[in-house]
Amino acid sequence: MPLVISKPLLEHARANHYAVGAFNATNLETVQAIIEAAEAEAAPVIIQISEGAMRYGGLRYLAAIVRAGAADATVPVVLHLDHGSGFEVNMRCLQAGFTSLMYDGSAKPFEENVATTALIVRAAHACGIPVEAELGQVFRVGDAVTAADIQQALTDPDKAAEFVRLTGCDSLAVAVGSVHGMRSQEAQLDQERIRQCALKAGVPLVLHGSSGVPDDAIRAAIENGICKVNVSTAIGAAFCSRLRGQCAESTQEHDIRKLLGPAREEAKERVRQKLRLFGSSGKAGAALDACRTMCSS
């Protein structure tokens, strides 16, 4: 089926207390792994392309791969820009056929974040495309920050409400204790902050850096208002671990399909596990109905 926009999927998830999985892809195999896992779980899914992935694989190449996969899929698939750094990259992705955009102005002053987000929202909404924004800052493993820095960067629920009102964004990524790039599940989430942000912002909330969050904390976060969960590190770690193993076992193998195929299967299994954790398995049909209802209204 054609690509769908993210907004009705996230609104349906919010109303039914589950989260849509949003998985980063960098090549053909990771796109295939994500879509095949979503089909096996009958789950709606979001495929995310970062600017780093674009530099590696090319914007139009990756967009074309996702569109081809979605065309053959029986579940709703969204093509989403992850952590767009400015107006220009968002417009290039809009032109390339992305069905969901994101501007990450979390490191900018509040007023600058508002101004740029609102500009992107205005342009995207003119084309019927929703926009995710970010308020508060989710740091990365290796950043020279202290526990006090992380606490200071958490999303303020009252500011979140003001930000959504001023920008018109469709979903909001919030900083609630997760960290990008964590390989061990040790991050603790501020569940009360999630509840307050969900209550005051009034839009679906997004959790970034989920690979380092324990499963029970993710389940609680979804109950408290998280409607989209981003996953990147966990998939990359599964793919690369299996690929390294295949290369070590088959040192004379020159058929790259025999090396990449098992890695793709490992990534697929990890995506399936995440979809079950998020509660989105079996939701594809109802989510697709929500898309049709919103698009026809």
Residues designated catalytic: 82
Residues in the chain: 297
CA terminus-to-terminus distance, the chain? 20
Q: What is the C-alpha separation between 37 and 19, in angstroms, rounded?
A: 16
Read off the tokens for 286.
């109802």
Distances in whole angstroms, Cα of residue 275 to Cα of each of 42, 46, 124, 235: 10, 11, 28, 12
3-state SS, residue 108: coil
Q: At what angle do helices 59-72 and 28-41 cross, to 10 degrees?
A: 30
* 169 Cβ contact partners less than 8 Å away, ≥ 6 residues apart: 117, 121, 131, 132, 133, 163, 203
Across 105-119, b (16+ Cβ under 10 Å) vs e yields bbebeeeebbebbbe
CA 211 to CA 231: how far, in whole Å? 6
Query: Do residues 105 and 87 touch, judged by C-beta distance below 8 A?
Result: no
What is the distance of C-alpha 281 from the center of its chain? 17
Instruction: Decide: 45 and 35 in contact? Cβ < 8 Å.
Output: yes
